[in-house]
Amino acid sequence: MKKYYESDADLKTLSGKKIAVIGYGSQGRGQALNLRDSGLDVIIGIRPGKSRMQAEEDGLEVYDVSEAAKAAQVVMILLPDETQADVYDAEIKPYLEENDCLMFSHGFNIHYGQIIPPENVDVVMVAPKGPGHMVRRVYEEGMGVPALIAIHQNSSGNAKEISLAYAKGIGATRAVVLETTFREETETDLFGEQAVLCGGATSLIKAGFETLVAAGYAPEMAYLEVLHELKLIVDLIYEGGFTKMRDSISNTAQFGDLTRGPRVIGPETYAAMEDVLTEIQTGEFAKEWILENRVRRPVFNALTKADEEHLIEVVGAEIRGMMPQFQKKEECDEE
Ligand SMILES: NC(=O)C1=CN([C@@H]2O[C@H](COP(=O)(O)OP(=O)(O)OC[C@H]3O[C@@H](n4cnc5c(N)ncnc54)[C@H](OP(=O)(O)O)[C@@H]3O)[C@@H](O)[C@H]2O)C=CC1
Ligand SMILES: CC[C@](O)(C(C)=O)C(=O)O
Ligand SMILES: [Mg+2]
Ligand SMILES: [Mg+2]
C-alpha cells in the first residue's frame, strides 16, 4: 500500500482555498479545529441546533450548509451517513463549481450510489482511522491519528495533493496516511465496526458478563473482569501486539488465552463473519440501513434502548461512579 508522511504533503496546496466542513459532530469538530490550528481557512456548514452552538462557542465561522458550500472550494461532508444524500441534493450539489473538491471521511454514499457527483469536480476521501474526539485529542498532544485517502474522481488533476494537504491539516501525516479505494475503505470499515470493533466487541463482552452473572457471580465482579480490564489488555495489544500483551499477563492467563480463546471464537464465528461481510459486499446491509431510516428506525431504536437498560450498563455506571479517575474524564469529555 502507498504510504505518506509529513514531507509528502504540502499545506500550501490549500492556500487560497476555503474549506467548508459540513456537520460539526464527532469528526466535524475534531477535523475543523485541527484544520484551523494548522492555519487553514475553514468554515462550518451546519443547521441550527446543538452542534451549531458548539461551533460558534469554539470561535469558528458558521453558516447554513448551502452558504458554506457556495463559499468553499473544498467541501468535506461530515454529516451522518444516512442524512448525507438528502442534504447533498438540496444544499450542496447546486453550489458545486468546476474543479471544486468534494470530500468524505467514509465511502458509504459514493460506493452505494446514494450520491452521484457531477464529473467536473474532484471526489476524494480522507478518513481518519479513529473516533473524532481522538482526532482532536491526539493532534493537541502533537501527534496524529492515521488516515486513509482515496480518489474517486480527479477532475482538477490535483485531487491527491489536495487530499494529502487536508490529511496533513488534520494531523494524519504525523502518523501515517495510506492510499486505498472507496470500495475497500467502505467494506472494511463496515466489517470492522460490525464484526469486531463495535458489534463483535459488545456482543463478546455481554456474553462473558451474562455467563458469569447466570452462574451466580456478582455483577460488579463480572463487570470489572470482562469490561473494565478489557481496555487495559487492549491498550497493551495496541502498543505492541499480542506479544506485548502476553509478556505482561501471567503464564496461566497465556495458556488459557491460547487454548480456550479459539473455542470461544470458533468455526461458527468465522462463518457468521463471512455472512456479515457478504451482506456488506452485496449492498444488502446498506439497503437495510437506508430503509430503516426511511421508516424512522424502529429496529435501531428498540435495540439501542434494550442495550441501554442492560444490567452491564447499570452496574458499569455505578462502578465508574466509585472511581475518581472517571469523574475527571467525564468533565473533560463535556468540554
Ligand atoms: N464518528 C467517527 O469517529 C467517524 C465517522 N466517520 C464518518 O464521518 C462522517 C460523520 O460522522 P460523525 O462525525 O460520527 O457524525 P455525528 O453524528 O457525530 O455528527 C453529525 C453532524 O451533522 C449534523 N447534522 C445532522 N443532520 C444534519 C442536517 N440535516 N443538516 C445539517 N447538519 C446536520 C449534526 O448536527 P446536529 O447537532 O444539529 O444534529 C452533527 O453536527 C460519517 O460519514 C461517518 O461515517 C469516519 C470515521 C470515524
Ligand atoms: C468504529 C466505528 C467507526 O467506523 C469509526 C469511529 O471508525 C464509525 O463509523 O464511527
Ligand atoms: Mg471506522
Ligand atoms: Mg465507520
| Distance from Cα 159 to the centre of ligand 1, integer Å | 23
Catalytic residue among 106, 111, 133, 310: 106
Answer yes or no: is pLDDT of 331 > 60: no
Please state the atom number of ligand 2 nearest to the C-alpha of residue 127. Answer: 7
Rounded Cα gap, residues 149 and 179, in angstroms: 5
Q: What proportion of the chain, given as a percentage, has pLDDT over 90? A: 96
Answer yes or no: is pLDDT of 328 > 90: no
Q: Contact 21/44 with Cβ under 8 angstroms?
A: yes
pLDDT at 327: 81
**47 C-beta closer than 6 A to ligand 1:** yes
The long-range contacts involving 271-276, CB below 8 angstroms and separated by at least 24 positions, are 272/195, 273/191, 273/195, 276/191, 276/194, 276/195
Q: What proportion of the chain, given as a percentage, has pLDDT over 70? A: 98
Write the residue with the smallest CA distance to atom 11 of ligand 1.
Answer: 80
Residue 244, all three cell numbers: 506485548
Per-residue pLDDT tens for 64-99? 999 999 999 999 999 999 999 999 999 999 999 999
| Ligand 2, CB within 6 Å, residue ranges | 131, 189, 193, 197-198
Annotated binding site for Mg(2+): 189, 193, 225, 229
Mean pLDDT of 154-172: 98
Sort strands 3-4 and 19-22 into parallel, antiparallel or unpaired.
unpaired
Per-residue pLDDT tens for 223-247? 999 999 999 999 999 999 999 999 9
Distance from the first to the final alpha carbon of the chain: 38
Residue 129, all three cell numbers: 482511522
Give me the amino acid identity at 48.
P
Write the residue with the smallest CA distance to atom 28 of ligand 1.
Answer: 47
Mutate which of 77, 136, 193 for ligand 2 pocket (most atoms within 8 A of beta carbon): 193
Give me the amino acid identity at 164.
L
Give φ, ψ of 284 to 5 degrees: -65, -45
**80 C-beta closer than 6 A to ligand 1:** yes
**45 C-beta closer than 6 A to ligand 1:** no
| Distance from Cα 29 to the centre of ligand 1, integer Å | 9
Answer yes or no: is pLDDT of 274 > 90: yes
Please, is 182 exposed, middle or buried when counting C-beta atoms within 10 Å of its C-beta (0-12, 13-18, 19+)? buried
Please state the atom number of ligand 2 nearest to the C-alpha of residue 131. Answer: 6
- Where do you find CATH 3.40.50.720 in the chain? 3-180
Residue 278, all three cell numbers: 457478504
Per-residue pLDDT tens for 34-68? 999 999 999 999 999 999 999 999 999 999 999 99
Residue 209, all three cell numbers: 458478563
pLDDT at 261: 98
Per-residue pLDDT tens for 118-138? 999 999 999 999 999 999 999
Angle at alpha carbon of residue 95, lines to 94 and 96, rounded to 5°: 100
Helices and strands per DSSP (H, E), number in the chain: 17, 9
**25 C-beta closer than 6 A to ligand 1:** yes
Q: Tell me the average pLDDT of the chain.
A: 97
- 106 in catalytic set: yes
Superfamily of domain 3-180: NAD(P)-binding Rossmann-like Domain (3.40.50.720)
pLDDT at 325: 87
Mutate which of 185, 198, 280, 285 for ligand 2 pocket (most atoms within 8 A of beta carbon): 198
| Distance from Cα 27 to the centre of ligand 1, integer Å | 7
Write the residue with the smallest CA distance to atom 7 of ligand 2.
Answer: 130
**18 C-beta closer than 6 A to ligand 1:** no
Mutate which of 27, 87, 88, 126 for ligand 1 pocket (most atoms within 8 A of beta carbon): 27
Ligand nearest to the CA of 193: 2
Answer yes or no: is pLDDT of 146 > 90: yes
Per-residue pLDDT tens for 176-229? 999 999 999 999 999 999 999 999 999 999 999 999 999 999 999 999 999 999
Answer yes or no: is pLDDT of 333 > 60: no
Rounded Cα gap, residues 92 and 21, in angstroms: 12
pLDDT at 330: 58
Give me the amino acid identity at 262.
P
Q: How far is CA 85 from CA 82, 91, 115, in A?
A: 7, 10, 6
ipTM summary value: 0.98
Please state the atom number of ligand 1 nearest to the C-alpha of residue 79. Answer: 22
Rounded Cα gap, residues 222 and 236, in angstroms: 21
| Distance from Cα 109 to the centre of ligand 4, integer Å | 12
